[in-house]
Chain A
C-alpha cells in the first residue's frame, strides 16, 4: 500500500488529503464498480472542487432548519450527562445500566488536536475494556485505514459500555412514527453506524482485545412521533458491516487501477483536469446523484456517449451487456446483427420492438 502513497499525493496535486467522514466512507460502498470514484476517494481528492472546476457544481446543501433541529435534538438527549439517554436505555430497552460515568472526548485539556484526542480515546477505551470502568464515551475520535491512509473519524456518536460490550449509539433527528421511520434514512444511518462499529473494532483489536466485544447491534436514538421525546431502537448492522469490509478490502487494490493510468496523471485544477478525469473510467448510475460530488459530471459524460446506465440499473440489466443506446436500438430494429453473446438480448429487443410497433399501429389504425 505504502508504495502507492506518492502516486496518490500526485493525483491530489500536492493539496492535503480531504478527510473522510463516516458519510463518505459509507458512500464508498454505494458504487463499488466505479474506478473514478474509488481512485479519487483513495487519494483524498477534493471531488467537490474538481466538479466545480469542471463546471458541474453539486447542489448538495442542507437547510438551516434541518441543522438547527438536529443540533437541538442532540443537545437535548445529551443534556445533564445524557440523563434522557440513560432513562431510555434503562426503561425502554431494559438494560441494566448500573452506575454511570460520562466522558466527553471532544476536547482534551483545552486542546483539540486529533492525535491527542485519539490517544485519549484509546486510553479510556483500553481502561474500559480491562476494568469495565466508564459507561458513555461521547465524541470518541477513531481512525480507520482507507487505502493505506489513516482517516480520522469524528463520529457524532457515543460508545456505550454495558456488560463488557461496547455499543454504538447514534443520535438522528428523523422521526419514528408509530415504530416506523423513513426507510432511506434508516438505511443511511445503518451504513454510517457500520463505519463506526468497524473503526471501534479495529481499535479494540489494536488494544489486544477480541473485536467482537464491539457489538454489531447499534442503538438509534430518534424523536418519537411528532414530539421531541427521544426513543431508542436497536439496529443490527451486520449486513452493512460485511459490505463495508469487502469494499475497504477492494479499495486497497487501487494500485491496480493506477497501473493502467498515465504516470503523470493529476487532478490538480488546470487545463488538463477534464482530460485527466475522463482518463479514469466511471461507472455512472442514477444512484450516484444521492452521494457523489462527481455525479453531475459523470451523468453528462454518460449521456453524451449514450450510455444505457444513465437510464437506470434496471434498464442496463434488461439490456444485458449492451452498453449504448445506439447499439441497443440498432439491435432492436435489426440494422445491426448481434455477436454470439448478445444473441439472446438482441432477440428479446427485436421481439419488444415488433410488439410495441404492432400495438401502437393497431391503435393508430383504430383511431383513423
Chain B
C-alpha cells in the first residue's frame, strides 16, 4: 500500500465509484477459464458442500453433497468433480509446440494453451488446497478404495494451489485479488473481500453508485457470501432442515432435488458475478509482459502434465532442498513480476516515481553524438538532461534504464536543481552515431528507472542426496503408505 493507492481510494470514496490502479490488465484471462465457486460445511476443515463450475456463463454444473458428513457421498462428490476438472485440464491444453532442443539435446515441447481456474476469493483457493490435500493420498484399491480419478484430482488441485503462490502466475486466481490489483474502491480491504461489494464499486448497476451497490451487497439475503463459508442464517434456516429431510427420507431424490435448489440459490449470484468480473477484466488491454508470463505458466503446466505418471503425490511437507528452491523461485518471480508490471503500466511506474526509484520529465538538453575518448577507443556516450519534479532518491553512478524501452541504459552523472544529467551507455546500436530514434531529443517526455527485470539469476542448490546437515541431512525417500490412504476424512 502506498500513498498513490491511498490517494486512489480517497478519490474513489469521493467519486462514489472505483478508480483505476492500472491502465492495462496484468493477468492472463483465458478464452474459456474454469470458474469454480465452492462451498464447504461450516465447522469442518474441508467438508465440501457444493461447487458450481464451468467454463462458460451459460454452462454451469452444480455438484452437491446431500449429506456432507457422509464419507461415501463425499468421495462420490470428489469423483464427480474429478471427472469435470480433469476433462477441462485435458481439453484446454491445445496443440503441442516443438521447441528448440535443450542444452543436452533433450526434446522440449510446450502446450499451446493451459487451463485457468478462477475462484471468487482467497478462501476458495484455501479450500481447493485442502481438498487437494485430503484427496491426493487416497488409494484406488484395498479396503478404502476410491474412484481412480480422486487422487488424480487431489494432485492437480495441489499443483494449482502451489502455482497460486507463484507471483504473476495466472493458472489459479482469486477474483477479489485480481480486481483489487486493477481498481481501488472507497472501502477498506476487508470490505473488498466481499466480491459482490467489490464488483458493485467497480461496475455499479444502473441507478446506483458504488457505496449503494456495496451496501446492498452486504445483505446476505440479496447477495449470499461468495463462499466457501456459507451464511449462518442460511445454514440454520434452510440448509439444516433440508439435510435433515434428506436423511429422514433415506435419500429420496425429491428431497435431494430440494436441497440442490436451496444450495443453487446461494451459488448462482456469485457465479454470475464471477463472469461479470471476467468481462470487466477482458475489457482492459493486456499488459505487454502478460503473454510472457502465461508462457512460463504453460511451461510449468506442460512439465507437470508430462511427468504426472512418473511422480508420487506431493509430500505433506517439502523436503529442505525443494523448499529452499521453491522459496528462491518465488522470490525471483516476485521481483520480475513487480518490475514487469511497472514497465507495462505507467500507473504502476508512478508508484516507483513517488518512491524515488524512477523519475520522469522533459529533456531540456541533449548531446546525442557525444563521444567518450578517454579510453583506447572512443565510445558513444550521449548525455541528456531531464528536468523532473519527482522526488529522486537515486545516487550518482546508479544505472538506470528507459521505462518505455528498457534496452536504453544510462548512468546518473549529476543530480541537482535543474534535473538529472544522464550519460547513456547502451541500447543505441553498435556504431559511433546512435541509431535514429534511440536517443531522446529535447522536449521529449521520458521516464527512467533503476528497476531491472530479472536482476538476479537462478541459484544453485545441492541435490537431494547432498542436503547439508544443517538442514537435517538427506531426507528419506518419500513413498506413499497405506496410512496415507486410510486417513480419516470425517
Contacts and interface: CB of A to CB of B under 8 A. Distances in A.
B488 A352 contact: no
B189 A61 contact: no
B43 A67 contact: yes
A223 B47 CA distance: 14
A329 B14 CA distance: 9
Contacts of A182: 126
A65 B23 contact: no
Contact of B7 (A66, A67, A228, A353): A353
Interface in A307-337: 308, 310-312, 314-315, 318-319, 325-326, 328-329, 332
Contacts of B14: 325-326, 329
Interface string A65-82: 111111000000000000
B390 interface: yes
A63 B46 CA distance: 16
B8 A356 contact: yes
B134 interface: yes
Contact of B235 (A64, A352, A354): A64
B58 interface: no
B20 interface: yes
A174 B130 CA distance: 13
Given A63-B230, A228-B488, A352-B354, A311 B42 contact: no
Contacts of A287: 190
A109 interface: no
A289 interface: yes
Nearest to A310: B188
B350 A226 contact: no
Interface string B1-12: 111101111110
Nearest to B49: A65
Interface in A204-230: 223, 225-229
Contacts of A359: 23, 346-347, 349-350
A329 B349 CA distance: 22
B486 to A, nearest CB: 10
Contacts of B187: 310-311
Given A312-B189, A362-B346, A226 B230 contact: no
A234 interface: no
B168 interface: no
B10 A308 contact: yes
Interface in B359-382: 360
A203 B188 CA distance: 42
A223 B44 CA distance: 10
A69 B43 contact: yes
B186 interface: yes
Contact of B42 (A65, A179, A306, A325): A65
A355 B487 contact: no
A180 B455 CA distance: 33
Interface in B115-139: 126, 130, 133-134
Given A63-B43, A64-B236, A67-B43, A311 B6 contact: yes
A64 B42 CA distance: 8
A360 B13 CA distance: 18
A221 to B, nearest CB: 15
What range describes how many residues of B lie at the interface?
A: 35 or more
B420 to A, nearest CB: 16
Contact of B43 (A70, A308, A329): A70
A328 B46 CA distance: 45
A311 B236 contact: no
A51 B109 CA distance: 63
Nearest to B46: A226
Nearest to A314: B1
B3 A311 contact: no
A353 B6 CA distance: 11
Nearest to B347: A359
B134 A226 contact: yes
B489 A329 contact: no
Nearest to A180: B317
B232 A318 contact: no
B489 A226 contact: yes
B488 A227 contact: yes
A362 B348 CA distance: 13
Nearest to B317: A178
A14 to B, nearest CB: 32
B134 A68 contact: no
B148 interface: no
Contacts of A68: 43
A351 B391 contact: yes
A55 B2 CA distance: 36
Contacts of A69: 42-44
Interface in A337-359: 348-349, 351-356, 358-359
B1 A315 contact: yes
A161 interface: no
Contacts of A2: none
A356 B350 contact: yes
B4 A352 contact: yes
Contact of A59 (B23, B220, B236, B488): B220
B43 A173 contact: yes
A261 interface: no
Contacts of B316: 178
A319 B6 contact: yes
A282 B8 CA distance: 25
Contacts of B236: 61, 63-64
B6 A314 contact: yes
A356 B45 contact: no
A175 B130 CA distance: 11
- Closest A-B pairs by Cβ, 6 of them: A66-B43, A175-B45, A227-B488, A69-B43, A63-B42, A286-B188
Given A315-B6, A360-B20, 8 more contacts: A64-B240, A175-B46, A311-B10, A311-B188, A349-B7, A356-B347, A356-B350, A359-B346
10 contacts: A61-B232, A65-B43, A65-B240, A69-B44, A178-B316, A303-B211, A312-B189, A315-B6, A318-B3, A326-B14
Interface of A: 59, 61-70, 173-175, 177-179, 182, 223, 225-229, 286-287, 289, 303, 306, 308, 310-312, 314-315, 318-319, 325-326, 328-329, 332, 348-349, 351-356, 358-360, 362-363
